[in-house]
Structure 1
């Protein structure tokens, strides 16, 4: 018995899971799959600890958990045994090791869910080479960040443990108000800022606030898929509006949906093509909103990274009629796992948006907000952005040269004035979707440009992120891309 049991146990000292947890899971699995039968006597905790080279407390902790869940039973003077009280159906189902079978059935869905269900959801991967929107993570100032987290959670204030204001902590809203005024010329009082779990939640709130089922909502084409999905999920109708060198085309929008009362745009750095909306078009858009009693959702997702001159002022900063809802995120300037976004709303809409936010999930987590407020106030965020702006500029130039030198026969690529990715247009009949699929096999997470179009016209190209990929690794990655392009071109260079 002892040898059979020990041969099935393997504890990994490098695992993030505690040893007692590993032992508990392995013993439970052996019981459920029938390897350890009911009534089997286990070795003593001392003997097991010696053979596994762990402390006896580790064994005791695992045994205690197994006993608490009914897998083991202790008999005074006899030892510890596998319980004979585990239901047969549990043991039988576990022993079969069957994978869940997909049921072919029809089930009632709301019209909103059905619209999204028609398109198969695809897993979005982040963090790999050439992944658009992935920042450099190795050079983040984690020492400062961890110090601030420890400071606020070593002895947390009571209010951090009992909840959070609907709009987020006062300290963070004040810090964001000052930061946005200095860096983006956003005009706001702290009360106008609502802290959220990301920019996607902000988009959801804005669409929910202004769209009735069937209403047309203007969006950029190509554009961020999260905007389109949110519009569809709200039961409204997304209206793809072409993007040219000056950004969102108001002229086309007025022809496509003259009755629309909401436009979702990224004027400072359009995603994915990258143009910055010209000042005349910004003013025309603000005038259109005023004249038609409409609103503008300004998605300012990565405008901090501008490589020619200073970052441009926000559209919200030009707004004199309170028509712009400004949306920002910490995902690009810090890291996406932080899950912090925010919106700046006109004063007369604050109560309405707070009510919508409260009904969605009550409030944002209080865990990181005090640390983030101090991180901003002490200047760590601004310093990090300045360092990354220089680093990303170098990486863009490196990737640009590599693509032009090695893939110039297939790609037409030019530098971007801002952002974290390049757009490379395919010259020949190679499909960008095929390139994306081939590159994914090698772990290269570039994206097919055609995926982001929903209007009658689309372009064939690649969205290639450079911010999170080091210069040292870029040549090898570009070599792989080149090989796939040659293969997809029938072996012709």
Structure 2
């Protein structure tokens, strides 16, 4: 049963006309009315609140007696005093909206919910929770006092070693554990790179269309985003050279361009590396879902071609494991290790060591590799089923792009429909989508819907969801 903390009560005002017992009464009533204290919640005992506020016990008991007399609270003997169950607030609560509605209406990128077609989520139903729980319990039982101190700001040494081994085998990246820094997610990764290697006023190439949070992060640091077009071979490097030849960095998604899912061709990769070497510029390789390619083997990372130490490789556990663990990692050139150690000491507090320990065990015992293999097969099946289901219902109204990999679909709208307005209508109906124009800098973006298929389990489910979309057309 939740217990209200006395710190949730507003400070008492000794200069107010109302006596202390009345102020306490008013504050509890306001907390109940606003939903901070909910029906059934336990409130502090009169004895505990007496010590906390430094008042006479009779003052606290007078406030509690008034609250009980008006039906706000109920004493339960040894079980303590609780907010009356099934109590209806007597004053209107302005913010009392359902959680799903508030999350979908919020302008923030990626809500903390699970909606049909929601982007950024792996197949949550297929995650090996029993294995994860067993490893978690084992890590908790094995904890020693030395595991309870402040975690290393660079990342758990064992996890950095496992990541280095994994990248060597699966992505062709030759790196040492000292080059790997564990972060709390992609945004944290980009923030560290900007602090370490960039400064206000610098220009950075970004793919257009591209991942919206990247340009928002750089904009907040007064770094200018230069939108570089993307075609079927990925970022058009020649256009970047025309637009900003002296840019300080480029952020790219070579495996599956985000969001178009095309791959950066080998000639473009070489041209990008040549540009970075000639200009002492940096390339940030965001390999957010490079493991999930369905038409051939996963492509080697751009970092594996880097001979001059110009590429920083950003990986994440959000897409292959769970977003909620908030773990990602960054591989920096060997010459930049000391610089990043300095920056991370200044700006990072370290990720929870227990979570890192569980991930380390998950990788070391082979569960990570097996999970990726299962997910690659499952996603290929779910993508095929989702495409078939949606095309059978929406074929006359939309066209689905053919993509070699990734975790989402691109639905091209027929006619001159606004993808933003259509996304708004879908969200009102409880369906998730993102508008391609929201990922595009400028006004010339094509109209399309971005839909994830990872949590669509069957073709029938896709057909049923397609019928709901059809009613909105």
- Give the TM-score band, short-chain normalised: 0.7 to 0.9
Is it true that 1:267 corresponds to 2:254 in the alignment?
Answer: yes
Residue 474 of structure 1 is matched in structure 2 by 462
Q: Which digits, 9 at most, give the CA deviation of each residue in 1:91-146, with x for residues without a partner?
A: xxx9987869xxxxxxxxxxxxxxxxxxx954532521101221111221111112
Note the C-alpha offset of 1:229.
Answer: 0.9
Instruction: Specify the SS of the correspondent of 2:148.
Output: helix
Checking the alignment, whether the CA contact within 8 Å between 2:249 and 2:282 is kept in structure 1 is yes
Taking a change above 3 Å as real, the CA distance of residues 329 and 123 of structure 1, as seen in their structure-2 partners, is closer
Residue 331 of structure 1 is matched in structure 2 by 318
Whole-angstrom CA distance in 1 between matches of 2:184 and 2:28:
44
Is it true that 1:180 corresponds to 2:167 in the alignment?
Answer: yes
Whole-angstrom CA distance in 2 between matches of 1:402 and 1:99:
41
Whole-angstrom CA distance in 2 between matches of 1:400 and 1:60:
53
Instruction: Specify the SS of the correspondent of 1:328.
Output: strand
Of the three residues 59, 63, 70, the one matched with 1:82 is 63
Checking the alignment, whether the CA contact within 8 Å between 2:46 and 2:57 is kept in structure 1 is no
Taking a change above 3 Å as real, the CA distance of residues 82 and 466 of structure 1, as seen in their structure-2 partners, is same
Unmatched 5+ stretches in structure 1: 1-17, 37-51, 87-93, 101-119, 486-493
Is it true that 1:169 corresponds to 2:163 in the alignment?
Answer: no
Checking the alignment, whether the CA contact within 8 Å between 1:184 and 1:313 is kept in structure 2 is yes
Note the C-alpha offset of 1:432.
Answer: 0.4
Checking the alignment, whether the CA contact within 8 Å between 2:205 and 2:249 is kept in structure 1 is yes
Is it true that 1:293 corresponds to 2:274 in the alignment?
Answer: no
Note the C-alpha offset of 1:279.
Answer: 1.3
Residue 144 of structure 2 is matched in structure 1 by 157
Whole-angstrom CA distance in 2 between matches of 1:426 and 1:417:
21
Whole-angstrom CA distance in 2 between matches of 1:169 and 1:473:
41
Taking a change above 3 Å as real, the CA distance of residues 479 and 30 of structure 1, as seen in their structure-2 partners, is farther
Note the C-alpha offset of 1:25.
Answer: 9.7
Residue 391 of structure 2 is matched in structure 1 by 404
Instruction: Specify the SS of the correspondent of 2:308.
Output: coil
The alignment's TM-score, normalised by the length of structure 2, stands at 0.81
Is it true that 1:414 corresponds to 2:395 in the alignment?
Answer: no
Q: Which digits, 9 at most, give the CA deviation of each residue in 1:348-396, with x for residues without a partner?
A: 1011112112211232221211111111011111111111111111111
Instruction: Specify the SS of the correspondent of 1:368.
Output: helix
Whole-angstrom CA distance in 1 between matches of 2:283 and 2:47:
59
Instruction: Specify the SS of the correspondent of 1:424.
Output: strand
Matches within 5 A, 1:92-491: 121-122=107-108, 124-125=110-111, 126-455=113-442, 457-471=444-458, 472-485=460-473
Taking a change above 3 Å as real, the CA distance of residues 234 and 80 of structure 1, as seen in their structure-2 partners, is closer
Note the C-alpha offset of 1:160.
Answer: 2.2
Number of positions where the alignment pairs a residue of Structure 1 with one of Structure 2: 419
Residue 40 of structure 1 is matched in structure 2 by none
Instruction: Specify the SS of the correspondent of 1:217.
Output: strand
Unmatched 5+ stretches in structure 2: 10-21, 31-38, 68-88, 96-105
Instruction: Specify the SS of the correspondent of 2:115.
Output: coil
The alignment's TM-score, normalised by the length of structure 1, stands at 0.78
Checking the alignment, whether the CA contact within 8 Å between 1:71 and 1:83 is kept in structure 2 is no
Taking a change above 3 Å as real, the CA distance of residues 31 and 461 of structure 1, as seen in their structure-2 partners, is same
Taking a change above 3 Å as real, the CA distance of residues 481 and 35 of structure 1, as seen in their structure-2 partners, is closer
Checking the alignment, whether the CA contact within 8 Å between 1:240 and 1:454 is kept in structure 2 is yes
Note the C-alpha offset of 1:253.
Answer: 0.2
Matches within 5 A, 1:29-44: 31-32=25-26
Whole-angstrom CA distance in 2 between matches of 1:419 and 1:388:
12
Checking the alignment, whether the CA contact within 8 Å between 2:4 and 2:42 is kept in structure 1 is no
Instruction: Specify the SS of the correspondent of 1:337.
Output: helix
Taking a change above 3 Å as real, the CA distance of residues 59 and 231 of structure 1, as seen in their structure-2 partners, is closer
Whole-angstrom CA distance in 2 between matches of 1:19 and 1:320:
57
Whole-angstrom CA distance in 1 between matches of 2:174 and 2:141:
35
Whole-angstrom CA distance in 1 between matches of 2:142 and 2:353:
14
Cα RMSD (Å): 3.3
Whole-angstrom CA distance in 2 between matches of 1:237 and 1:412:
35
Note the C-alpha offset of 1:64.
Answer: 5.1
Checking the alignment, whether the CA contact within 8 Å between 1:304 and 1:311 is kept in structure 2 is yes
Q: Which digits, 9 at most, give the CA deviation of each residue in 1:249-275, with x for residues without a partner?
A: 100000010111200000011110110
Whole-angstrom CA distance in 1 between matches of 2:23 and 2:341:
47
Instruction: Specify the SS of the correspondent of 1:281.
Output: helix
